[in-house]
Chain A
Amino acid sequence: MTAQLMPVPIRMAASLLDPKLAGPEDLRAWNGSDIERRLAVHRNNVLSSLIDALGDTFPVVQELVGEAFFRALCASFVRAKPPQTPVLAQYGAEFPDFVTGFPPAASVPYLADVARLEWMRVLAYHAADAAPVGPEVLEGLFACDGALGDLRITLHPSVCAFRSTFAAVAIWSAHQGIGELAGIDIHAGDCALVLRQGLEVLVLPTTAEAICFVDSLRRGERLDTAIAAATAHAANFDLVALLAALLRRGAVAALGPSGPNNSWSHA
């Protein structure tokens, strides 16, 4: 009987992402043909399937740089940051930062932010479900205005706040057929709320103060703290308009007095 070697994964794993490394020493083909060609099937499966997965997550990034550049970028990413879980919906969180540090992409300075926006869309798509609170709750809210500061708003789990120093939202939108790429000043900063309403992920352009407000709520802070964060950014922050918009988009999962087990309006 052949002497037992270490299990195959220990001897084979490294060679999958690094073609310079040889595969296991006991690899063989029935007809004695060069084993590298056969090992290449696995190397190709690994790399191309992961690049395809990134292509599904970052379609606008791919459109912006073209397929050949995108696949080269992704190949570098896959080799540097291969997935750590079989749940590929989680693969790509580190991609935007990788794009930032990828020198060949330096001529497209907004690319990483577009990647960030696309990653947020994936997060929103798969985020936990929660029944939204309807807009009618706003009436009741302002009937007891003295207590606003004690309110706590729980956002829908899909809500993400996006901001860019580039026109990343306008560029992304133009790739959805909304607006023209030609007229965009790439250095005009952009903000958007990304959230899932029903089964659809929305990208809603918004103001920087709305982002401050939403970020504060996402940190679990009280409503008065969130208002203070927004007004510090813009004195004319319109709370009612923003709350109404959030409620209309199903972005609020619960709303009630702060303190545990005290919610008076819960879906």
Chain B
Amino acid sequence: MAPANYGNCPVLASKLPPRAGIGLKPQHFRDVLETRPDVGFFEVHAENYMVSGGPFHHFLGRIRELYPLSLHGVGLNIGGAEPLDEAHLARLAQLIERYEPASFSEHLAWSSHGGVFYNDLLPIAYDQSALERVCRHVDVVQERLGRTMLLENPSTYVEFSSSSMSEAAFLTEVVRRTGCGLLLDINNAHVSCVNHGRDAVSYISSLPLEAVGELHLAGFTRDTDASGAPLLIDSHDAPVDAVVWELFGGVVTKLGPLPTLLERDNNIPVLPFLLAEARRAESLMAVGGDCRGESVRGLEQVP
């Protein structure tokens, strides 16, 4: 696949509106259809909808008629050591044909090896052979799906002494070679930077920001490593942290409004809580990222 000229024009890997969206959870299906909340889009994990029929397709089909959809994969194994699973790609292509999502995204991580799926986003060493493998996999995905994808920066807890480049340099090169877009997960950026003693602002500014097609915001859990240093866990089970909101403000000040997902996968609150977080993200985008705005403070009171 030809490299994209993202240096001259932004990569249009995402057709999502530059608004806040929320993750669609089965416990909110009926609420969404009954209340039709004013959000920019819904995002679903592709693998949850790789079933033949039943309520999941029933509700997703109806909700898709009302909202743009972002399809987010968690099992494609882009960072895997083995060739991509053709059966999984076929399932993905089928979902994309059925729901015509405005965006498809996946992770810079691996999740399967030797016929076992680990259900976690696992780290890779950032070396030359991994770079070639990841680019090959992104090429295969984009060719098979006939569309450009977004690749998400991971949350990591360990690093590899065999890495020969930084994560940002690695992602920059993947974007340059494959023409894919970047899904900038600001929570992951914060989590990884704290976990590796780095500065998140400089990490983010060293990414290929002109290729960002979507942002993710989420909550994390605090832990400590064996030496007592903070170790943040990307748990998606808490409200977005103040530090992550601040980083988000900085990013949208620089880049302008972008499709922004409020990610919540565990300890899922009632729908109005997620909607309030989405409104907060939209207010920040509207005021150019100023976290001190009145309109933002007012929205912190959520049910």
Residues of A with Cβ closer than 8 Å to B? 1-10, 12-13, 16-17, 23-24, 26-39, 41-42, 45-46, 49-50, 53, 82-89, 125-130, 157-158, 196, 199
Contact = CB atoms under 8 A, between A and B. Distances in A.
Contacts of A9: 79-82, 110, 112-113, 122, 124
B157 A82 contact: no
B301 interface: no
A28 B76 CA distance: 26
B71 to A, nearest CB: 14
A41 B233 CA distance: 8
B121 to A, nearest CB: 8
Interface string B204-244: 00000000000000000001011101010100000000000
A26 B161 CA distance: 5
Contact of B157 (A4, A38, A129): A38
A53 B119 contact: yes
A82 B111 CA distance: 12
Interface stretch (B44-52, B97-105, B175-183): B44-52
Contacts of A29: 158-159, 196, 225
Given A2-B127, A9-B122, A87-B51, A126 B56 contact: yes
A231 B196 CA distance: 71
A100 B184 CA distance: 46
Nearest to B57: A129
A250 B91 CA distance: 28
Given A7-B81, A199-B55, A24 B226 contact: no
A128 B52 contact: yes
Contacts of B130: 7-8
Interface string B34-77: 00000000000001101111111110000000000000001111
Given A37-B226, A129-B54, A42 B120 contact: yes
Nearest to B198: A30
Given A7-B129, A88-B48, 9 more contacts: A16-B118, A31-B225, A31-B227, A85-B88, A125-B54, A129-B52, A129-B53, A130-B53, A158-B54
B114 to A, nearest CB: 6
Given A4-B127, A9-B80, A13-B114, A49 B120 contact: yes
